[in-house]
Amino acid sequence: MVAAVSVYVDKPQHRVGRMIMCHMLADSMAELLAMADTIGVDRKWFQPQSHPHFDICKSKRALAVKAGAIEVDRLTLVDVKRRYRKKWFADLDERAAVVAATLT
């Protein structure tokens, strides 16, 4: 059974070397980091710039979807970012979680 999570992945379209990557975002840092741990993405790949996220390859994306991540289009991804930005400004604990993630 897959647990309900608020983690989102867009379509793979960003080329990095020979790999094609996508973005993985979440409604909270706890959910984002838990999914990264679940699918085996090392936290050193966390990217706090512009919006907290991971760039993941197609095989990790497939694992994330299997673990409950929601596939979204570009417009929905923008909505996720807007929602998270509001939370980030309003929630000191969430801001601290982003800072803590950058230190690991």
Q: What is the pLDDT of residues 22-53, one digit of tens each?
A: 999 999 999 999 999 999 999 888 998 888 99
DSSP-derived 3-state class of residue 102: helix
Using pLDDT thresholds of 50, 70 and 90, give the confidence band for residue 15: confident
Average pLDDT over the chain reads 89
Report how far residue 56's alpha carbon sits from residue 104's, in angstroms, rounded to the nearest whole number: 18
Provide the H-helix boundaries in the chain.
29-39, 58-66, 74-90, 92-102
Q: Is the pLDDT of residue 102 over 90?
A: no
DSSP SS3 for 32? helix
> Does residue 4 have a pLDDT over 60?
no
Asked if 39 and 64 touch (Cβ cutoff 8 Å), the reply is yes
Q: Binning pLDDT at 50, 70 and 90, where does residue 91 land?
A: confident
How far apart, in whole angstroms, are the C-alpha atoms of residue 43 and residue 18? 21
